[in-house]
Amino acid sequence: MRDGLPESAALRVPPGARMQTPLCRLAQEVAELAGWRRYGLAFLLGVLLAGALPPIDLTPLIFVAFPGLLWLDEGSRGIWASARLGYVFGFGFFLAGMYWIAAALFVDISSFWWALPFAVLGLPALFALWPAAALLVTALGSGRLRLSPDARLCLFAVAWSATEWGRGHAFTGLPWNLVGYAWSGGFPGSLYVLQSAAWVGIYGLSFVTVLAASLPALFGTPSLLPLSPLRRVMPVLAAAALILVPGTAGAVRLQLLPTVSTATWLRIVQPSIPQTLKWDPGAAEANFQRLIQLSSSAAPHPLAAILWPEAAATFLIERDAVHRNAIAAVAPKDGYVVAGALRASPPPGPVTEVWNSIEAVDHDGAIRARYDKAHLVPFGEYIPFGDFLPIRQLSVGAIDLSAGPGPQTITLPGLSGFAPLVCYEAIFPAAAIDEANRPAWILNVTNDAWYGRSSGPFQHFAIARTRAVEEGLPLVRVANNGISGVVDAAGRVLAHTGLDAVTYADIPLPAAGPPTPYSRAGDWLFLGLLIAGLVPVLARRRASIQP
């Protein structure tokens, strides 16, 4: 019994049966771990799961982390013991996967040293509540419904994926390091599986991945031993099908959606200005001249636009005619410089509001279009409950930034319509583009110099790449220090820059693909997958109430 709840079917077997195979013995030994060994292994398994994601890209580690967690959970005595186990696992996962957030504090460590423990330990401790909730729900459902081992795994995959969706939406959301991103990096063949995001989005891909990775846990279930050899290998066959079938469909999609370049040429400018100098008044002019020099280099093809990263212009373009005219001088004839910049309330009045924006300047110095970032970073661009918290944000400025209205499509003469995204707006699925006015490509400008040579910039690039697959649109990414690059509508990386390189790249814009099922239906398809995953659970409940 587990605190009055019936144990799962996996434990209701004769003790001798548990010792009949090496995997059963291993599962039993793992389940019987106690104290620091139990929680130390849970922490280590969480760290291993982080290693499956970019930039390490050891995707097979998911087939170690999740079975190990589920075997550990077999030894949990009560639902709260399961929740504690999930919490420690999640703490290891987020500590290893998101440590780089703390790097931003070192830009001004003398002012923000006190926040270091909160960034290094506090955020993982907070996010670990989500895996804890997933194991809590799994233990509660398994005990009350007396679920079979395979139904328990389905419930776990549903619960884990649902909590990922919750993490991506609650309290402004941070859908970073979702398990589905294990297919967004450089592991061989991962691009084939990543194509599934075009149908079910990254949350749906997470569900399929967690379910497939959890199935090997059944090899430690003694109740499979009396079955036929074919039935005993069913877990590995099912796990293989969950990966190979989407992978095969993805390979077909890649064949049907080859890279096609348009006649539009763009220049990506990567100035790689250190964050310590980014807002230094003494370095402002030198920083600006670096942008101008990279932009003014001769091009082998006529350019439609020159693209600058987030906050490349550290002055207010609409209020500074001298610098605006300097930008206009390097803009292509009949083209634009599309620059990340801060924008203030219109002149000639005083500055009362500031936005993190993208502004398009033409050859005559006119601002032809602008976009204001809608999804702002808490504590970085504004202070939640700022009237009650005596702290200032990490970004430069005396006032909080204001939020824009949301996704939009910018269309300019000579330049096909694009969806502008500033910084981490690219991490939010189903919120990247205006589906009612579908663009031809996605422009993501960002400044990852805050995070140095950590895993953060690599993860950010891989996440943005996934938006291209979901939407069936090419993505052009312009980062201050990298990683900048171009991704086609199927997620192929056509060009990219090195981290911290001072460089530019002239690239032809890839053609858009047709709208994907995910671009049309969004997360409703993910909801359908969750309902399908609950079928074995509901079937077990129905069977349990039969007279």
Residue 195 predicted with pLDDT over 60: yes
Per-residue pLDDT of 137-177, as tens digits, reads 999 999 888 898 999 999 999 999 999 999 999 999 999 99
Q: DSSP state, 226?
A: T
Q: Residue 5's pLDDT is what?
A: 43
Residue 540 predicted with pLDDT over 90: no
Q: CB 412: neighbour CB atoms within 10 A?
A: 17
Q: Tell me the sheet residues that pair with 512.
A: none
Of 547 and 116, the one with more pLDDT: 116
pLDDT level of residue 4 (50, 70, 90 thresholds): very low
What percent of the chain shows pLDDT beyond 70?
Answer: 90
Q: How far, in Å, CA of 157 to CA of 169, rounded?
A: 19
Per-residue pLDDT of 469-478, as tens digits, reads 999 999 999 9
> Residues 103, 450: contact at Cβ < 8 Å?
yes
Q: Which domains does the chain have, with CATH numbers?
A: 15-256+523-544 (no CATH), 261-512 (3.60.110.10)
Q: Residue 391's pLDDT is what?
A: 63
Residue 511 predicted with pLDDT over 80: yes
Mind telling me the catalytic residues?
310, 373, 423
Q: What is the mean pLDDT of residues 7-22?
A: 49
Q: What is the mean pLDDT of residues 252-257?
A: 98
Task: Report the relative pairing of strands 354-362 and 367-372 from DSSP bridges.
Answer: antiparallel
3-state secondary structure of 156: helix
pLDDT level of residue 416 (50, 70, 90 thresholds): very high
Question: Which residues are within 8 A (CB) of 250 and not within 5 positions of it... i.e. 6 or more apart?
Answer: 191, 192, 193, 194, 195, 196
Q: Residue 400's pLDDT is what?
A: 87
Q: What is the mean pLDDT of residues 254-258?
A: 97
pLDDT level of residue 16 (50, 70, 90 thresholds): very low
Residue 2 predicted with pLDDT over 50: no
Residue 224 predicted with pLDDT over 70: no
Average per-residue pLDDT in the chain? 91
> Residues 155, 138: contact at Cβ < 8 Å?
yes
In three-state form (DSSP H/G/I as H, E/B as E, the rest C), the secondary structure along 298-335 is CCCCCCCEEECCCCCECCCHHHCHHHHHHHHHHCCCCC
Report the range of poorest mean pLDDT among 141-145, 172-176, 183-187, 541-545.
Answer: 541-545
* Sheet with strand 305-307: strands edge to edge: 367-372, 354-362, 336-344, 305-307, 261-270, 503-510
Q: Residue 10's pLDDT is what?
A: 42
pLDDT level of residue 226 (50, 70, 90 thresholds): low
Q: Which two tokens stand for residue 310?
A: 């987030």
pLDDT level of residue 203 (50, 70, 90 thresholds): very high
Q: How far apart are the first and last CA of the chain?
A: 24
Cis peptide before 483 (omega within 30 of 0): yes
Q: How far, in Å, CA of 255 to CA of 237, rounded?
A: 26
Of 234 and 124, the one with more pLDDT: 124
pTM beyond 0.85: yes
Q: Residue 229's pLDDT is what?
A: 66
Q: DSSP state, 455?
A: S
What are the E-state strand segments in 455-540? 475-479, 485-487, 493-496, 503-510
Q: Residue 379's pLDDT is what?
A: 82
Residue 465 predicted with pLDDT over 90: yes
Of 220 and 277, the one with more pLDDT: 277
Task: Report the relative pairing of strands 354-362 and 336-344 from DSSP bridges.
Answer: antiparallel
Residue 192 predicted with pLDDT over 80: yes
Per-residue pLDDT of 380-403, as tens digits, reads 888 876 555 556 655 555 578 999
pLDDT level of residue 542 (50, 70, 90 thresholds): low
Of 545 and 522, the one with more pLDDT: 522
Per-residue pLDDT of 348-383, as tens digits, reads 888 989 999 999 999 999 999 999 999 999 888 888
Q: Residue 177's pLDDT is what?
A: 96
